[in-house]
Amino acid sequence: MRFTRSKAFVMAAGLALSLAACGDAGEDDTDAPEVEVSENAAEQFEDGTAMKELAEDGAITIGVKFDQPGIGFKGATDDAPKGFDPEIGKILAADLGIPADKIKWQETISDNREPFLTEGQVDLVIASYSITDERRTVVGQAGPYYVTGQQLLVRSDSDIETIDDVKGMEVCSVTGSTSLDNIKAEGAKPRGFDTYSECVDQVLDGTVDAMTTDGAILLGYAAENPDELKVVVDPFSEERYGVGYSLDRPEMCEWISETLTEAEESGAWDEAFEATLGQSGVETPEPPAIDECPAA
Ligand code: GLU
């Protein structure tokens, strides 16, 4: 079932890119794109849908990461997180008529994304959240809105160049991530932490030989420490980032997918990327095609 809505009320404008921001994806020296908030949004959705309820409430809770520069990062003095995931959250909220200052940002770590959705602590999870068949048995995942691949982050003086070089080496990642599972299969000695920021500290102080997760996340850390860290090896997995929702609200899938598609077509997606992940010097990719939603 599709939800009829008037077109193109998600538009981004006023993006001011600062060249000085290059190489420092976690800092607030870039203006985020302005996202146009839909008017009379509640009227656009059918009664009984999650979208109607959220639009009527005028508020939404979104789970994002707080420690991944470029993806989802909230500094100690920041009011709200910054990064590509929060920008996708703002685009979705705006479609419900909810402005950015009415979004409650809930920090999620990799391991609590499913329980936060199934227990109703958040309405959506947008947190470098790869779509997997296993996760889709527990939660809904619409998308993908971004595709990346797993790589390694090592100290600048490291000799690690290929994935074969990590056999028998200590490599950290995060519990509950696809990254920890994938690196086990490569013959490394896996070390699991709660967050990627804890893991990167282990690389910096030499406790582990490397850290592994999605290239998009690693680039953010490398950009913060360009003299000490580098990203190596060709991507050895495909990570398709999806927007998580509760399987109790299956109607959200069509709405998320439509809104993402509109953002990809209107240029809002590009502007969100350029203002966040693009700041680490990565070229803006073609936005990915969105999966079909499961049959109702
Ligand atoms: N994208 C992978 C995942 O969802 C790794 C990044 C993360 O843990 O957030 O497991």
Question: Which residue ranges make up each domain of the chain?
Answer: 9-147+240-280, 150-232
Query: With a 6 A CB cut-off, is 68 part of the ligand 1 pocket?
Result: no
Q: What is the pLDDT of residue 281?
A: 81
Residue located nearest, by CA, to atom 8 of ligand 1: 177
Residue located nearest, by CA, to atom 5 of ligand 1: 177
More confident: 187 or 255: 255
CA–centroid distance, residue 210 to ligand 1 (Å): 17
Q: What is the pLDDT of residue 295?
A: 87
Domains 9-147+240-280 and 150-232 fall in the same CATH topology: yes
Architecture of domain 9-147+240-280: 3-Layer(aba) Sandwich (3.40)
CA–centroid distance, residue 55 to ligand 1 (Å): 29
Residue 198 has pLDDT above 50, yes or no: yes
d(CA 23, CA 214): 18
Q: What is the pLDDT of residue 20?
A: 30
Q: What is the pLDDT of residue 279?
A: 87
Instruction: Pick the atom of ligand 1 nearest to 176's CA.
Output: 10
Write down the pTM of the prediction.
0.90
Q: What is the pLDDT of residue 199?
A: 97
CB neighbour list of residue 211: distance below 8 Å, 6 or more residues apart: 152, 153, 154, 171, 172, 173, 196, 199, 200, 202, 203, 218, 221
Q: What is the mean pLDDT of residues 272-294?
A: 93
Q: What is the mean pLDDT of residues 27-52?
A: 86
Name the average pLDDT for the chain: 90
Query: With a 6 A CB cut-off, is 108 part of the ligand 1 pocket?
Result: no
CA–centroid distance, residue 21 to ligand 1 (Å): 25
Q: Are 124 and 245 in contact (CB under 8 A)?
A: yes
Q: What is the pLDDT of residue 30?
A: 52
d(CA 133, CA 296): 17
Residue 245 has pLDDT above 90, yes or no: yes
Domain 150-232, CATH among 3.40.190.10, 3.30.420.40, 3.90.25.10, 3.40.50.10860:
3.40.190.10
CA–centroid distance, residue 213 to ligand 1 (Å): 7
Take residue 176 and report the two structure tokens written for it: 């509950």
* 3-state SS string for the chain: CCCCCCCCCCCEECCCCCHHHCCCCCCCCCCCCEECCCCCHHHHCCCCCHHHHHHHHCCEEEEECCEECCCEECCCCCCCCECHHHHHHHHHHHHCCCCHHHEEEEECCHHHHHHHHHCCCCCEECCCCECCCCHHHCCEEEEEEEEECEEEEEECCCCCCCHHHHCCCEEEEECCCHHHHHHHCCCCEEEEECCHHHHHHHHHCCCCCEEEEEHHHHHHHHHHCCCCEEEECCCCCCEEEEEEECCCCCCHHHHHHHHHHHHHHHCHHHHHHHCCHHHHCCCCCCCCCCCCCCCC
Query: With a 6 A CB cut-off, is 150 part of the ligand 1 pocket?
Result: no
Q: What is the mean pLDDT of residues 193-214?
A: 96
Residue 1 has pLDDT above 70, yes or no: no
Residue 81 has pLDDT above 60, yes or no: yes
Q: What is the mean pLDDT of residues 178-187?
A: 92
- 7-32: pLDDT as tens digits: 333 332 222 222 233 344 444 445 78
Q: What angle do CA 178, 117, 76 make, to 5 degrees?
A: 80
CB neighbour list of residue 66: distance below 8 Å, 6 or more residues apart: 72, 73, 74, 81, 107
Instruction: Pick the atom of ligand 1 nearest to 217's CA.
Output: 6
Q: What is the mean pLDDT of residues 151-168?
A: 96
Cross-strand pairs, 105: 62
Distances, alpha carbon 135 to alpha carbons 139, 162, 219, 247, 289, in Å: 6, 29, 25, 11, 20
Take residue 32 and report the two structure tokens written for it: 């985020």
d(CA 157, CA 227): 10
**Residue 135: other Cβ atoms inside 10 A:** 18
Q: What is the pLDDT of residue 28?
A: 45
Q: What is the pLDDT of residue 7?
A: 32
